[in-house]
Amino acid sequence: MSLDNNKTIRKIQSFVKRSGRLTEGQKYGLNDLWPKYGLDPIADQIIDFQTVFEKCQAVILEIGFGNGDSLLQMAINEPEHNFLGIEVYEAGVGRLINEAHKHNLTNLKIIKEDAVEILKNNIADDSLSGFQLYFADPWHKKKHHKRRIVQAEFMDIISSKLINGGFVHMATDWENYAEHMMEVLEVHPHFKNTLSAHTYSLRPERRPITKFERRGERLGHGVWDLIFDCEK
């Protein structure tokens, strides 16, 4: 399914740019190593994955990777996949690029822009094998729920970019957001729960546990994983 270009997509401002002092290592990643790992998409120009990645293989997109720990580990563990990470948090971007360089990864690229705009303007339809969203801002106050990135309009965009048979994997430690994600995904015509209706998945082995998640587990916090197939 192609996204109807005549359909107006509501601007989703789901993130707040965090600023702060960068370490020398983070600056090195953002500046010196950016040409190796960073992408600077040109407006309305589709990214050619066959050109930007060393190997032509399935591409998995992750939005909002934070400090990059889990995305780094996935790229290391799954050399048969290419990974595209989008994040606006500069410290996290710099840190991930440094770590990727240490491991000499060739299957990871980073974009430091608004993910929704990149999806709409720079990623081709039917070009992604998977989409990952881990521990996105839950915007827990009810008046801010409209700022949650997981909305029907956003999932329309994601479904158009995924190949038939691709996957969506989300995880959150906020139960109300998990319920919201489940509701949005289950009513969407192109996503099907890999388990039975309204059933959360166990954390798959391929999704690494972050330090943040381990700390939450020690405090008794729950984590909800949702894994859906894209069928269109």
Positions marked active-site: 137
CA distance 23 to 128: 33
CA 159 to chain centre: 14
**In the beta sheet, which residues pair with residue 201?**
225
Phi, psi (degrees; rounded to nearest 5) at 72:
-60, -50
